[in-house]
Amino acid sequence: MNLVIIFITLNLIYITTGKNLKVNSIETFVFVDIETTGLRQPNITELAMWITPRNCLLDSQDNMNCRMLNKWTMLFNPGKGIERKASEITGLNNDMLDKYDKFDERAGTNIISYLSHYPRPICLIAHNGKRYDFPLIKKTFDKIQLRVPNYILYSDSLQILRELENEDITKAKKKSFKLEDIYERLFHSKPLVTHAAEADVEVLYKIALFYGNDFIDIAEKFASRFSEIDP
Ligand code: DCM
Ligand code: MG
Ligand code: MG
């Protein structure tokens, strides 16, 4: 009886605080970016993922040549008009995607099945992912009634980098935490390509490599279960 009460209490604490899992052993990092139809009720047009084992992010490795980096990219027919601005920045238009399948049950199942190949837990990392990419991906999965397994976690690199750069929110002139601006601060040049899903993932991956262990630590501190995202 006592055990039951403790179990219920712990669950309640978890549900009411409902946040970070504080995992300390993410085995696989998946850097993710999506392109979409725009800012109003967007659908996904492109998804890219770079999958890397924890080891490849560690400081001591010859990281850019990590032999174990795997990559996935996929285009989708969004089933609705791509806004002009989105088309301009992503280089994608509806004509190009007309003959492609939508982000349907088969695509979703393929993605989860692909991820299930890698050592667990697996943590998805996207820039501003908490507000943009993850809820939209989750909404798309929900629409096709696809359940995301509990070993898939997520963490937002915007949050991670704010902590790594010790953002001083009291300062009048705020630093930009746009992906390309962080990249420029670290590498003293702008990325050549932006707003193509894989190009953005590459930028994010290089930023994560720059911070190595520290990136891993904070990613783990903020990690939560993907299945618990409420779109
Ligand atoms: N987006 C947009 N207008 C912007 C920036 C982004 O419509 N000024 C939409 C379209 C992009 C999507 O957000 O495909 C994801 O942005 P990002 O390329 O930064 O990942
Ligand atoms: Mg993005
Ligand atoms: Mg992008």
Residues of the chain with pLDDT > 70, as a percent, come to: 89
How do residues 19-38 score in pLDDT, each as one tens digit? 677 777 999 999 999 999 99
| DSSP strand pairing (44-53 vs 70-75) | antiparallel
CA of 60 to the centre of ligand 2 (A): 28
pTM of the entire predicted model: 0.91
Contact criterion met (CB below 8 Å) for 4 and 50: no
Query: What separation in Å is there between the alpha carbon of 126 and the centre of ligand 2?
Result: 7
For residue 212, pLDDT over 50 is answered with yes
Q: How much is the pLDDT for 50? A: 98
Compute the distance between CA of residue 64 and CA of residue 70 in angstroms, rounded to an integer. Answer: 13
Q: Could you give the CA distance from residue 186 to residue 112 in angstroms, rounded to a whole number? A: 33
Indicate whether residue 35 lines ligand 1 (CB < 6 A). yes
Which of the four pLDDT bands, split at 50, 70 and 90, describes residue 16? very low
Question: Token pair for residue 67?
Answer: 């032999």
Distance CA 48, CA 54 (A): 19
Residue nearest to atom 18 of ligand 1 (CA): 195
Nearest-10 crossing angle of helices 157-164, 197-211: 30
33 CB near ligand 1 (under 6 Å): yes
Q: How confident is the model at residue 13 (pLDDT cuts 50, 70, 90)?
A: very low
- Mean pLDDT computed over every residue of the chain: 91
Q: What is the pLDDT of residue 5?
A: 57
pLDDT tens track for 42-67: 999 999 999 999 999 986 556 566 88
ipTM, two decimals, is 0.99
DSSP 188-226: SS--S--SSHHHHHHHHHHHHHHHTHHHHHHHHHH-EEG
For the chain, which domains are there? 27-228 (3.30.420.10)
> What is the Cβ-side half-sphere exposure of residue 133, based on CA atoms within 13 angstroms?
24
Sheet arrangement for strand 152-156: 70-75, 44-53, 28-36, 122-126, 152-156, 224-225
The stretch 167-193 carries a mean pLDDT of 92
| pLDDT at residue number 3 | 58
Which pLDDT score is estimated for 22?
73
